[in-house]
Structure 1
Amino acid sequence: MIGGDSTAQLLREAHEDEDVKAIVLRVDSGGGSAFASKL
């Protein structure tokens, strides 16, 4: 697993790479409260 900070960094790097045409994220989440995303 990777954390939020490392994921954000990888996404930034991919965004800046002109060879990258798409980014596909597969999220295996057990769900949870929407409240946690607002913290």
Structure 2
Amino acid sequence: MGSVEIDRTRCLLCGACVGSCPFLALELLETYVEWYKDRCT
């Protein structure tokens, strides 16, 4: 699992910044995204 810092003022927590990974592969959290490499290939 990893994380990427998100500019919340640009992302607005809408989820558009998480890309095209499958459902449940990414979690948009307060200020960063966590991804699960075993779910997002």
Of structures 1 and 2, the one with the larger relative CO (CA 8 A, separation 6+) is 2
Larger Rg: 1
More strand by share: 2
TM-score range, shorter chain: under 0.3
Report the TM-score when normalising by structure 2: 0.21
Report the TM-score when normalising by structure 1: 0.21
